């Protein structure tokens, strides 16, 4: 999720991140706190001074609501005191303007990598829920009958909702192949997993990204 009132910069950030396989949704500052509490988004990029309003108050509201979503503040307020104030308000990172897009992307990747490393026992993406301790998965509270590899595959997607996942990533991280291999094992397992999590007549929750890979939709579309 992105809150940025400079139209050109917002469009540039959106294009850069979407070019790297992320889905980017723009929000107004008024909607940011509620969206952070209710959304399945992986993180929030928040312009500090938004239409003259200091958005640190929004960060404080998000944290008081108990939302754990990572928050990256971007701001022209770039003194050491400004950065410290932003972090104390509850932001996870603070990137002063102006910045290079390559640095923004690197910050996003680092934050999401840390998020994936956080010890958690439960993953929730829309109506899908995974209990990592019990090794069980549910769809709309109904238990899914998953094979071990299907469970691991669903867990991998659930840690990265809305993010492009390539076949190479799956082969390396789920199957532990450290080399190029000609196999349809990924396609076969995804096909089987789709049959267990999809709704009849609706597009698959695991969408094909033409020529690139796959992406888990937060909700049935």
**Using CA atoms, how far apart are residues 63 and 7, in angstroms rounded to an integer?**
27
pLDDT value of residue 180 = 62
Q: 10: which strand partners?
A: none
Distances (CA, A) of 178 to 129, 151, 172: 30, 21, 6
Q: What is the CA radius of gyration of the chain?
A: 19
Distances (CA, A) of 128 to 3, 43, 215: 27, 19, 15
Give me the helices (H) in the chain, please. Answer: 7-19, 29-38, 56-64, 80-89, 101-117, 148-158, 167-173, 185-197
Question: Is there a contact between 83 and 94 (Cβ–Cβ < 8 Å)?
Answer: yes
pLDDT value of residue 87 = 92
pLDDT value of residue 35 = 84
- Please give the distance of CA 71 from its chain centroid, rounded to a whole number: 12
**What is the phi-psi region of residue 201: left when phi exceeds 0, alpha when psi lies from -120 to 50, beta otherwise?**
left
Other Cβ atoms within 10 Å of 142 Cβ, number: 9
**Using CA atoms, how far apart are residues 20 and 3, in angstroms rounded to an integer?**
19
The predicted model scores a pTM of 0.55
Listed as ranges, residues in the chain with pLDDT below 50 are: 119
69-105 pLDDT, tens digit per residue, is 899 999 999 899 999 999 999 999 999 999 999 999 8
Token output for 78: 């770039």
pLDDT value of residue 116 = 58
Listed residue (9, 31, 182) closest to 98, CA to CA = 9
């Amino acid at each position: 999720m992105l809150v940025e009132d400079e139209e050109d910069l917002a469009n540039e950030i959106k294009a850069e991140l979407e070019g790297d396989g992320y889905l980017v949704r723009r929000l107004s500052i008024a909607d940011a706190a509620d969206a952070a509490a209710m959304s399945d988004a992986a993180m929030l990029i928040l312009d500090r001074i938004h239409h003259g309003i200091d958005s640190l108050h929004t960060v404080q509201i998000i944290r008081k609501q108990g939302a754990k979503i990572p928050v990256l503040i971007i701001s022209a307020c770039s003194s050491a005191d400004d950065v410290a104030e932003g972090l104390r308000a509850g932001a996870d990172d603070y990137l002063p303007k102006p910045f290079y897009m390559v640095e923004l992307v690197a910050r996003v990747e680092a934050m999401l990598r840390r998020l994936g490393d956080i010890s958690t026992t439960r993953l929730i993406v829309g109506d899908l829920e995974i209990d990592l301790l019990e090794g069980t998965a549910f769809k709309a509270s109904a238990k899914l009958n998953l094979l071990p590899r299907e469970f691991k595959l669903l867990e991998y997607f659930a840690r990265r909702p809305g993010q492009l996942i390539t076949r190479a990533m799956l082969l390396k991280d789920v199957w532990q192949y450290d080399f190029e291999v000609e196999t349809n094992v990924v396609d076969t397992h995804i096909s089987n997993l789709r049959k267990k999590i999809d709704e009849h007549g609706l597009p698959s929750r695991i969408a094909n990204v033409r020529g690139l890979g796959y992406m888990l939709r937060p909700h049935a579309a």
